[in-house]
Amino acid sequence: MLWNVTTAEYLHSGHMACPGCGASLSLRHALKMLGEQTIVVLPACCTSIIVGGQPTTAVSVPLLHVPFATAAACASGVRRALLAQGRQEVTVMAWAGDGGTFDIGLQAISGAAERQEDFLYVCYDNEAYMNTGIQRSSATPPGAWTTTTPAGKELEYEKKDIISIIKAHRQSYLATATIAYPEDFMAKFEKARKLSGFRFLHLLAACPAGWKLDSSASLEVTRLAVETGIFPLLEQNEDNELQLTYVPESYEPLASYFHAQGRYKNLSDEQISFLQGEVQRRNKKFLTGKGRGANPSPLPA
């Protein structure tokens, strides 16, 4: 499908992101899909810096900076205030990093999902606390360097399975996406915008600074995450099951994804082989169908 994407911009040039930042590119296109009738609720994260502090801002929709743990609680309040005013047309989007989602904001997210609060929660996951100095989060993958895991995160600590946690709440929409696959990304934002109830999108967003990448390689490496199966593009179907929305022609070896990033340089071949097996094991529980427009390639064994 070809998208007729608006030329309007709601995240403007002159913002504070590093070159090649996947978070800022994702936010730019998310806002294009949601439109000007959007209120953004933003806890502490890289985007707090990217959009600029008062009185300057790079975003031209209303945006609330809120405390770290409270994005889902504050978004619930904004939605209820809008309802009290009879304003159904406004999209409320909580936009948070992995630290504010997987770790610090998790209880508020669970509460909002359980209450079926009517807003879209988007986690842009760059897999560490990037804006405070690249510290490990529970979204950091095993083997990845951070400043608090200088030899690489221990392999016995898995990346927290946020998708399964959210799925347990029977939310109205759940999907993963990355701007490296823009049509899939836009289709999911479009669907999420039109639905009501608690909606959750998990985005993989490359961070050249934290992933030890050249800024020009940001999208290429994010694509490799999908092509190797370490970040599958998923969507909840009508039966509340997850299915793939994209299946690669054939899966790339996970080593190609690791070797493209300096943060994985300590991994041995044996450790990479172990992690390849872990990804295949994990994916088996997600994959119930081949999804929209998928080719018939076999899923990872």
* Tokens (6 digits) for 213: 């990448």
- Looking at the Cβ atoms of 16 and 64, the one nearer to ligand SF4 is 16
Distance CA 286, CA 161 (A): 11
3-state helix, strand, coil in the chain (%, to 5): 40, 15, 45
Binding of ligand SF4 by 260 (CB under 6 A): no
58 is a site residue for ligand SF4 (CB under 6 A): no
CB of 297 to ligand SF4, least distance (A): 32
CB closer to ligand SF4, 122 vs 299: 122
Neighbours of 297 (CB within 10 A): 12
Residues 6+ apart with CB under 8 A from 98: 123, 124, 125, 126, 127, 128, 137, 138, 139
Is position 42 an interface residue for ligand SF4 (rule: CB under 6 A)? no
The CB-of-285 to ligand SF4 minimum distance in angstroms stands at 29
Stretch that binds ligand SF4, among 17-25, 83-91, 240-248, 276-284 (CB under 6 A): 17-25
Could you identify the residue written with the tokens 């600074």? 209
Give how many residues touch ligand SF4 by CB under 6 A.
13
122: nearest Cα among 198, 200, 55, 193: 200
Q: Which residues of 180-189 are buried (b: 16+ CB within 10 A; e: fewer)?
A: bbeebbbbbb
Encoded amino acid at 203, one letter = L
Among residues 99 and 152, whose Cβ is nearest to ligand SF4? Answer: 99
Restricted to residues 197-236, the positions that interact with ligand SF4 (CB under 6 A) are 207-210
Please report whether residue 18 would count as binding ligand SF4 according to CB under 6 A. yes
45 versus 120: smaller Cβ distance to ligand SF4 = 45
CB of 122 to ligand SF4, least distance (A): 14
The residue among 131 and 236 lying less far from ligand SF4, judged by its C-beta, is 131
Nearer to ligand SF4, 23 or 31 (CB): 23
Residue 294 burial (CB < 10 Å; 0-12/13-18/19+)? middle
- Cβ(94)–Cβ(100) under 8 Å? no
Question: Which of 31, 63, 130, 174 is the binder for ligand SF4 (CB under 6 A)?
Answer: 130
Q: By CB under 6 A, is residue 179 in contact with ligand SF4?
A: no
Per CB under 6 A, 21 contacts ligand SF4: yes
Q: Give the burial string for 1-24 (b: 16+ CB within 10 Å, else e).
A: eeeeeeeeebbeeebbbbebbbbb
Given the complex with ligand SF4, which of 190 and 214 has the nearer CB atom? Answer: 214
Minimum CB separation of residue 199 from ligand SF4 in Å reads: 23
Smallest distance from the beta carbon of 18 to ligand SF4, in angstroms?
3
Cα–Cα distances in Å, from 88 out to 80, 130, 152, 193? 10, 35, 47, 12
Contact positions toward ligand SF4, by CB under 6 A?
A: 17-18, 21, 23, 46, 50, 126, 130-131, 207-210
